[in-house]
A = this chain, B = another copy of it.
């Protein structure tokens, strides 16, 4: 059994890790940390976790784990990851700290000095489907953001085959849990309910992560990405609508092109356990609580555009689930272990 620890179990990603690890057949969750809740029992703080008999400890008390998941905010997370690495654990970092390879880029987007830039080269970007081989051998995985996961899984097949031009628009609609458990007026129930709004219009922190991956996968062109996240009145789920144009007519705007497009996606994801290419426009509810991503590519024959729609649960494939998927790979166990749960519908 792999001994696992969760750093900062008291946020939504941390709680979700606890839920999923509880019945992981190869993992023993041996330690969880919290800040204000340290000293209390896990099930005292979260009654729904009452089958889990674990004290919440302070961060530096997490010892003897084979793998540590960090669900701390950025900067604090990198610091904790370094401690865990030095204690010999493998680490999956759910924060943004090791996602951007360029330290200046990181520091400009996050307005902090990077606490551990020397680990950036070693860290592997943990979008499992596109970085699987690197993840297998790594000891530090930077788990992708929830938005980039949905955007990049929608883009990957076309980018790899160099089928689209540089103009990429990602219009994402997210449930409110993506904003985390910290209180603020925009996620106050009475303000967020029966309401929709866009945010991050001058630049959301998940944008450079998307651009970096596109640029690395296909450096032939300079990618130009517009990313607009929206907050919608539900708890979980992200739907991303991606607008593209074929590169040099490599995908014809025709019924044939439509068939070709779907084949590209079906081929690319043929063996993926957690990506489903759908025949109909997907719904976020179809992935609620599961690690699945749904991808639906379609051609707008009138306007000559490709539209790709993806859905996922931001706390599972967008955070805790993908973190476990990566951990499975890092420890050489089957990738789907602990993650086979079906979506809660309705």
Contact = CB atoms under 8 A, between A and B. Distances in A.
A10 to B, nearest CB: 11
B47 A282 contact: yes
A111 interface: no
Contacts of A298: 201-202
Interface in A265-312: 276, 278, 280-290, 292, 294, 298, 300-305, 307, 309, 311
A342 B183 contact: no
A334 to B, nearest CB: 15
Contact of A188 (B183, B230, B243): B183
A112 to B, nearest CB: 21
B342 A194 contact: no
B284 A197 contact: yes
B169 A346 contact: no
A228 interface: yes
Contacts of A15: 345
A48 interface: yes
Given A189-B189, A196-B237, A281-B198, A173 B19 contact: no
B235 A232 contact: no
A12 interface: yes
A188 B191 contact: no
Interface string A46-69: 111111000000000000000000
B294 A194 contact: no
Contacts of A225: 302-303
B183 A189 contact: no
A346 to B, nearest CB: 4
Contact of A283 (B22, B196, B201): B196
A335 to B, nearest CB: 14
Given A48-B342, A197-B283, A224 B304 contact: yes
A232 B196 contact: yes
A237 B192 CA distance: 13
Contacts of A156: none
Nearest to A44: B279
Interface in A154-208: 167, 169, 171, 173, 175-177, 179, 181, 183-185, 187-199, 201-203, 207
A243 B241 contact: no
A278 B344 CA distance: 25
A47 B294 contact: yes
A343 B49 CA distance: 8
Nearest to A185: B183
Contacts of A191: 285, 346
7 nearest interchain CB pairs?
A: A195-B285, A48-B343, A183-B183, A190-B346, A197-B283, A48-B286, A189-B192
20 contacts: A12-B346, A19-B345, A22-B342, A48-B292, A49-B342, A171-B171, A175-B194, A179-B190, A181-B185, A187-B190, A188-B189, A193-B193, A194-B236, A194-B285, A196-B311, A197-B282, A199-B281, A207-B302, A235-B346, A243-B243
Given A48-B286, A195-B284, A224-B303, 18 more contacts: A19-B342, A47-B276, A47-B286, A49-B342, A51-B340, A167-B303, A187-B189, A189-B189, A198-B281, A198-B309, A201-B298, A201-B307, A202-B298, A203-B302, A225-B303, A226-B302, A230-B239, A236-B346
